[in-house]
Amino acid sequence: MKIRLVAVFTLIVSTSFVSAGVPVLPAELDGVEQYGIFRYYPSVPEALYVQGDTIPSNHELELRKALNLLPKVNTIVLDSPGGDVYSALSMAGVINDKSLVTYVPLDGVCASACSFMFLAGANRFASGQLGVHQFAVKDDRKEDRSKSIAQAQFTMSDLYSVLASFDVPDFVIVKMFATPHSEMYYFTDRELDKISKGQEHPLNVSIENLLALRKTWVNELLAYVKSQENKNNQAAVDHAGEEDKVPSSPSKRLAKPEVAQLQRLLNEHGCKAGPEDGLSGNATRTAIQLFAKSAPATDFATLDTQEKIDVLRATPKPMCIQNPLSKSPQTPMVLSDTDAWNDAFNLVRTKRFEEAKVAFERFLINYPDSERVPYAYFWIGEIYLFKKEFGDALANFALVVDKYKNSLKRPDALYKLGVTQRKMGDTDAGAATFNRLVKEYPAAAAAGLARWELSQNP
């Protein structure tokens, strides 16, 4: 008997992506592309995902488009309650013709029309639920009724031969025809073992890792939204209760703009001053002490607020990332290039882009021989692109393309170079760069994006 996939993942999923504030989208989920109901995550470039969507009509072209643009895709991950039967059968034909793998994940349900797509897989495996029932005529409009009945009769007469061509066991077809449309038959684990075809796909673990990460992030996001709703509701209640109150004391703490500015600058230096709310608390005082240990101004803690602001502005950032225990306050901490890279990239993940740019620039100075150097230039370019500073973005992407010809990041840099050129209004240069990318790296995921750009605007 085939050993079924157990929920033991190589990825350790964090229970919280940030300690406070809006949960940050994990890098593994970033860059998602949508082709109709099909989602593509660059971190698992071999798979397309249907994640809870109903199958719409005339959707075969969306699947073909995705497969043409994403040549590495060999697996369709299915989690759908069903939908349009004819559309599902058309896509099942594509799946079978291209010998794709189909997979129902642990928490997934592939039912009704979705089952046709699953059963079409050259190699298929279900860790979740697979459900079938009879085909039903849904269109009750009088003018279309006879046509719908004819289609239903055609489907019933030919469906057996279609499923048989997919090497589907007879008991599956029997269950499908015997279960009323108002009900759903879900196969048992033992039956799923018989329906599965080929060996368990080694990519399944990566797929489950990504789905578990996405589920955790979505739950974190929903919890955050709920907490904000509760805060807003409580604030409304408090405000309603305070309208008739007379202030009992003039000593209520008021936010000060200069303190908020101080907190912002401390945070930009990596000193972790907490929320930039204009209220000086323990986090702000601790950040001031941390900066005082690292900064050349040894009397920093005794300065007034405006003087502190002036010192912070004049000091190269980020000062608090340096080692406060060092005898020389200007001597940076001794980190491996991996640790330094992770520190910089974590700033990107938490959307602290200006700090991330500084950290990547410091990485380039401290680790000029690291294999991650072209990656640092790339991410500096990404930050400039995000800030719409297109000239600086162009320079960094071009540097990766021209100087680091053997880097694995070069295809991505070529794509971003073309995007930047088009944003700067030079559509011809952008098209030339996209065509260059497709020619030099035809199998790269970035080349698929370039083909799409060219199809939209040659």
- Per-residue confidence (pLDDT) for residue 126, from 0 to 100: 87
Q: Residue 15: is its pLDDT beyond 70? A: no
User: How high does pLDDT run on average in the chain?
Assistant: 77
- Per-residue confidence (pLDDT) for residue 64, from 0 to 100: 94
- Per-residue confidence (pLDDT) for residue 369, from 0 to 100: 87
Over residues 381-385, the mean pLDDT reads 91
User: Between 337-349 and 353-366, two packed helices, what is the crossing angle to 10 degrees?
Assistant: 160
The model's confidence at residue 279, banded by pLDDT at 50, 70 and 90, is confident
CA 341, CA 346: separation in Å to the nearest integer?
8
- Per-residue confidence (pLDDT) for residue 27, from 0 to 100: 64
**Among 200, 121, 109, which residue's Cα sits nearest to residue 163?**
121
Q: What angle do CA 305, 307, 309 make, to 5 degrees?
A: 70
Q: What percent of the chain has pLDDT over 90?
A: 23
- Per-residue confidence (pLDDT) for residue 146, from 0 to 100: 45
Q: Residue 4: is its pLDDT beyond 60? A: no
Cα-Cα-Cα-Cα dihedral sign, residues 62, 64, 69, 72: positive
The model's confidence at residue 201, banded by pLDDT at 50, 70 and 90, is low
Contact 291, 269 (CB under 8 A): yes
Contact 276, 258 (CB under 8 A): no
Across 167-272, where does the E strand assignment appear?
Answer: 185-186
- Per-residue confidence (pLDDT) for residue 92, from 0 to 100: 93
- Per-residue confidence (pLDDT) for residue 153, from 0 to 100: 42
The model's confidence at residue 200, banded by pLDDT at 50, 70 and 90, is low
Tell me the CB-side half-sphere exposure of residue 137, using CA atoms within 13 A.
Answer: 17
What values do phi and psi take at 162, rounded to 5? -65, -50
Digit-coded pLDDT (tens) for 310-334 = 777 777 666 775 433 333 444 444 5
The alpha carbon of 269 is separated from its chain's Cα centroid by a whole number of angstroms, namely: 28
- Per-residue confidence (pLDDT) for residue 376, from 0 to 100: 92
Cα-Cα-Cα-Cα dihedral sign, residues 295, 301, 303, 307: positive
Q: Residue 374: is its pLDDT beyond 50? A: yes
b/e sequence 60-93, b meaning 16+ C-beta within 10 Å: bebbeebbebbeebbbbbbbbbbbbbbbbbbbbb
Over residues 376-403, the mean pLDDT reads 90
Give whole-number Cα distances, 125 to 133, 163, 168, 264, 347, in Å. 20, 16, 13, 52, 39
Amino acid at 266: L
- Per-residue confidence (pLDDT) for residue 224, from 0 to 100: 65
Contact 54, 109 (CB under 8 A): no
Over residues 147-164, the mean pLDDT reads 56
Q: Residue 432: is its pLDDT beyond 90? A: yes
- The alpha helices in 139-195, defined as continuous H runs, are 142-165, 170-178, 189-195
Neighbours of 258 (CB within 10 A): 13
Q: Residue 203: is its pLDDT beyond 70? A: no
What are 186's strand-pairing partners? 131
Among the residue ranges 255-269, 277-291, 315-329, the one predicted with the least confidence is 315-329
Cβ-proximal residues to 36 (8 Å cutoff; 6+ apart), any chain: 56, 59, 62, 63, 66
Paired tokens of 69: 């643009």
CA 413, CA 449: separation in Å to the nearest integer?
12
The model's confidence at residue 5, banded by pLDDT at 50, 70 and 90, is very low
More confident residue, 125 or 178: 125
Over residues 129-134, the mean pLDDT reads 89
CA 290, CA 164: separation in Å to the nearest integer?
71
Q: Residue 190: is its pLDDT beyond 80? A: yes
The alpha carbon of 452 is separated from its chain's Cα centroid by a whole number of angstroms, namely: 20
- Per-residue confidence (pLDDT) for residue 97, from 0 to 100: 92
CA 124, CA 195: separation in Å to the nearest integer?
8
Omega before 105 cis (within 30°)? no
> Does this model's pTM top 0.85?
no
Among the residue ranges 17-21, 188-192, 239-243, 438-442, the one predicted with the least confidence is 17-21
Over residues 405-420, the mean pLDDT reads 91
